[in-house]
A and B are shown apart, each in its own frame.
Chain A
Amino acid sequence: METLSKTSRRDFLKLGLTAGGGLMLSFNWSDSVAAIMNTSGEALAANVDFNSYLSISPDDVVTIFSPNPELGQNIKTSFPMVVAEELDADWKKVKVVQAALDVKKYDRQLTGGSGAVPHSWERLRKAGATARQMLIEAAAKIWNVAASTLTTANGFVIHPNGTKLSYGALATDAAALTVPTEVKLKNPKDFKLIGTVVPNVDNKEMITGKPLYGLDFYREGMLHAMIQRPPSFGTKIKSVDATAAKALPGIVDVVTFKNNVAIVGKSTWEIMKARKVLKVEYENAGNVESTSDHDKLFKELLDKPEATVRRKDGDVETAFKNAATVIKREYQCPFLSHAPMEPMNFFAHVKADGVELIGPTQTPDRARMATAQLLGIAPEKITVELTRLGGGFGRRLQADYVVEAAELSKLINAPVKVTWSREDDMMGGSYRPAVRYRFEAALDTTGNLIGYKLRGVGVNAGNSTREDNFPSGAVANLLIDSIDHQSPITTGAWRAPITNFLAFAEQAFLDEVALAAKKDPVQFRLDLLDKAKQTPTGAIKYDIDRMKSVINLAAEKSGWGKKKNLAQGFSVYFSHRSYVAQVAEVEMVSGNPVLKKIIAASDCGIVINLSGAKQQVAGGIVDGLGHALYGQVTFKDGAAEQRNFNNYKLIRYNEVPQVEVHFVDNGIDPTGLGEPALPPTGGAVANAIFKATGKRLYNQPFTLQEEMKGVKLGQKM
């Protein structure tokens, strides 16, 4: 089946001839992005939502401009693949270029969450199909045949008699044609490029050490700066003595603004040294909290009668009163640092006539608007250039580190790059919130789940539940509520916000409930899903059949329940529009339980780039496992106690189990994969460890729990 897709005048704008001839088409890369296109520096049309374009030059080179920040999610490779697929381009001749980053062109650029793929899928396809249609029409004119008789492949339009014309040879003629209003999209069955392994387009630059990242930005005359921020949340500066710091070589200035003391100098090492002799005294300016306070608070909040009700179905009280068995368990997770490998940094140059900002951000527009507001200047006078991002994990959605650089540049009246040390990164900025959950389940005499309660309490976590997620819909009597504690400790989105821990707690809990119900954990989940389908309770956000399909695929690929010498643990979670089920396998090796393998089955619809998709799943599992095992930031009197990788442990090479990645093949339009593979991992691992040792894990990080003693990791990865 071929799909006819209508394009409107607003969908495409033909930019006509490029400098050396050829075809240039602009299109909108994503709903979240708006832009004004121009050529030769002149605005073509105001308020036109175009943010990307593709060009075909007479020498057959297809150039696809990518406007989105790339932080390892593979967008710069995967998105152009979709355009190239519908265009029938020769991938070897496709060049992907980070689009000129200029706020005059790109009014609102944003990369956030796993939402880009579902938003852009059809737009990207239509862009490629439109260019292809125009090239076909150009060839039809030359050959004087009906366009419908022509086909395309590998960058050529093909005549029924086998004669070929290359796209480059047709591009200039095509540019003279009207943009079609209706184009044919391929049947996904005919995809040649989508679904294959395509290496990252930036590999060569990355493996040869080219300057790509924000920290790699240098400019003649630029100053370097580091900022001493309050080491404890809830404190402010009392006094600053910068005499010794200022006297050191290479130090240009020491500037105090707000709660910051900036050391400005000529080189990174010189300012790092000056920081050691900088004397700043702080005093309390609010709640100065410790982890021990939060531990106590969580227990109080879990018992508090009033809470924000997120979902209420049926009569929970009666269900629990009538229950044959009640299971009640609590789970707690600590704060986490985002800790992307590239520490925060940004270049700013505030000039009389405008502001130049250059660096790694997921939200350049937010950075620009925040800077405009702070400095009291028009946003149009601020340009933001994007570098590649050395990881983000949500940290670079925030603009604090950009605005700070701009403020400093204004104060010192000079171009400056502000670099955060790793310690700055872990002691400030923002964290994944600490959360504690209480789950309660009511079972009747035959093991049916008749009641379910979840309370989430967190520190600056907002709604720490996901009330319309599984098992909501499958339980007649259900109550989900939450309480949030406001704290000076700043938190923010951390890869798979909330679900990065909620999924572990829920899936570990359901494993216990299944056992109490005397059911196999996989069958228990399938039965609940059948119940949600046959007798649904309330609205749900997940697709029951898709959830079942990943459960069944993971069970099949792992040989669930058939491996006698292995302890298997199961977990499944829906987040960010995709479904992932995982089976963790623990083997007893000379008396020790060893985490050997994690098998994942994902449903993200059509897989665009098989290499990138497998990376996202494997990487998500490693990330989820590593943080479940080791990750924690604790606070003492408002100050983070873990400040670098010596005591904030990240998972390493020899601790990683084998990972096997499978995808459900269902032809559904694709959804994102940057986050969904992370949430299920902790639960699968905890459930496998229980199967092997009889011990349940309730708190993260696992490695600090008594129950983990003796468990070995990553043998023969």
Chain B
Amino acid sequence: MAAYSINVNGETKKVDVASDTPLLWVLRDSLGLVGTKYGCGIAQCGACTVHLNGTAVRSCALPISAIGTSKVTTIEGLSKEGDHPVQQAWQEVDVPQCGYCQAGQIMSAAALLAKNAKPTEEQIATAMNGNICRCGTYHRIKEAVVLASSKMK
């Protein structure tokens, strides 16, 4: 066990966990931020996607010891009112079915658009291909990413 101080959603959080504890379980078990989901534990499904300094990463395969001073953003911290352009688009297009994977999908899309506000179809596919949706909402995910892109300032 070791004490770690990490920056999550703009706040400094202190946790006492083993150094190999994945960020996913720190967020969920220690910090009560359950919007980031467990799906596979081996960085295959993308349900646990968060931003590390703005880049989409799989938190299930990222040990707490590797975070350092990097800024972690989770779905809870993507926007204050849940009105990030990607979140707006997700609601307007009515993307979710069961909804379990959608936080991860949104985080992947938001990271893409932050770096590239007007992605091509191929760039969207590359960014979204790491996120599995078992319900098969891929068509609406695409539609929502394109809509969010049009909303990006």
Contact = CB atoms under 8 A, between A and B. Distances in A.
Interface in B96-147: 96-103, 106, 121, 125-126, 128-129, 131-142
A204 B29 contact: no
B interface SS class: loop
B17 interface: yes
Contacts of A215: 34, 37-38
A210 interface: yes
A524 B29 CA distance: 59
B17 A341 contact: no
A203 B132 contact: no
Contacts of A651: 136
A272 B41 CA distance: 10
A305 interface: no
Interface string B22-48: 100100111011111111111011010
Interface string B63-84: 0000000000011100000100
B91 A620 contact: no
A342 interface: yes
A340 B132 CA distance: 11
A107 to B, nearest CB: 26
Interface residues of A, number: 65
A391 B135 CA distance: 7
B94 A343 contact: no
A553 B82 CA distance: 41
A74 interface: yes
B25 A650 contact: no
A645 interface: yes
A646 B22 contact: no
A429 interface: no
Nearest to A620: B136
B25 A654 contact: no
Interface in A463-501: none
B17 to A, nearest CB: 7
Contacts of A645: 39-40, 42, 44-45, 132
Given A339-B134, A619-B137, A650-B134, A204 B91 contact: yes
Interface stretch (A81-89, A398-406, A621-629): A621-629
A267 B38 CA distance: 14
Nearest to A654: B125
Contacts, number: 189
Given A343-B38, A645-B45, A653 B98 contact: no
A208 B75 contact: yes
Nearest to A209: B35
A419 B95 CA distance: 27
Interface residues of B, number: 60
Given A204-B82, A619-B137, A717-B142, A390 B100 contact: yes
A267 B30 contact: yes
B97 A72 contact: yes
Nearest to A213: B100
B119 to A, nearest CB: 13
Contacts of A206: 96, 99, 102-103
B110 to A, nearest CB: 11
A391 B92 CA distance: 22
Interface string A205-229: 0111111110110100000100000
B18 A218 contact: no
A421 B35 contact: no
B14 to A, nearest CB: 16
Interface in A220-271: 224, 249, 267-270
A211 B34 contact: yes
Interface stretch (A116-124, A194-202, A278-286, A367-375): A194-202
Given A207-B91, A419-B38, A653-B128, 17 more contacts: A197-B94, A208-B76, A209-B103, A212-B99, A267-B21, A272-B41, A340-B134, A341-B37, A341-B98, A390-B100, A391-B134, A393-B134, A615-B137, A619-B137, A653-B138, A717-B125, A717-B139
The 10 closest A-B pairs by CB, nearest first: A209-B35, A622-B136, A390-B100, A72-B98, A209-B75, A72-B97, A206-B99, A645-B44, A619-B136, A208-B82
20 contacts: A204-B82, A206-B96, A207-B106, A208-B87, A209-B36, A211-B34, A267-B25, A267-B30, A268-B25, A269-B17, A273-B20, A342-B37, A389-B98, A619-B135, A626-B136, A644-B41, A645-B44, A650-B132, A653-B142, A717-B125
